[in-house]
Copies of this chain bind each other. A is one copy, B any other.
Amino acid sequence: MKLVKEKITKREAIYYSHKMAQLSKALWKAIEKDWQNWIKPFQLNINEHHILWIAYHLKGASISEISKYGVMHVSTAFNFSKKMEERGLLQFSKRENDKRNTYVELTPEGNDLLESTLNEYDPDDNSVLKGVMPMTEMFGKLPEFLDLSALIKEIYGDEYMEILERSLENIEEEALVNEPTDLEKYKQKSQKSRSS
């Protein structure tokens, strides 16, 4: 296959892929660090929290879905799921229409734990959110990273993006965070004062 070679020189290719490697490593390391700090009080590592998160949003998921969507090896997905089953956070099952795959679902304890982490989540501890604020102020909305989304869709395929969209829709639909945040309280107050 010479798809790329016909379009750009080798030097351009090295330049471009080096830049993307640096930006991507820097971004992921920042996100990883914030994620670790966020869930540290709950005695979970990132892989475990990611598995709970995926199973929560997809309302149960197969080990292979967790592996694909969580971008982790099947054995990593399975081993950490097993550990969390032993802790009573997940349960394994087979589905009637799909006997080959192992599914995991959150137990009530797993559900409570995941929701506790979401309640503890503080946007002000998040480097990405703080980092996009200047752009948000400049353009009046959060930057969409459309080229990044398009690239991931090319690399991982439509299915990856569909699962991402499904899990994001669930965040919008669910009463994820029961407690109003400072901002919501503030909004309610200002709506009241405006309507009175």
* Chain A contacts to B: CB under 8 angstroms: 1-31, 35, 53, 69, 71, 118, 121, 123-124, 126-137, 142-145, 147-152, 154-156, 160, 164, 167-168, 171-172, 176-177, 181-184, 186
Known A-B contacts A131-B151, A168-B18; A25 and B28 likewise in contact (beta carbons under 8 Å): yes
Which chain B residue lies CB-closest to A186? B6
- 8 Å CB contact of A24 from B7, B31, B181: B31
Within the complex, the shortest CB–CB distance from A123 to chain B, in Å, comes to 4
Contacting residues, chain B, for A144 (C-beta < 8 A): 147
Judge whether B128 and A151 touch: CB under 8 Å. yes
Contact A171 B4 (CB under 8 A): no
A3 x B164 contact (CB < 8 A): no
Q: Is the CB of B183 within 8 A of A6?
A: yes
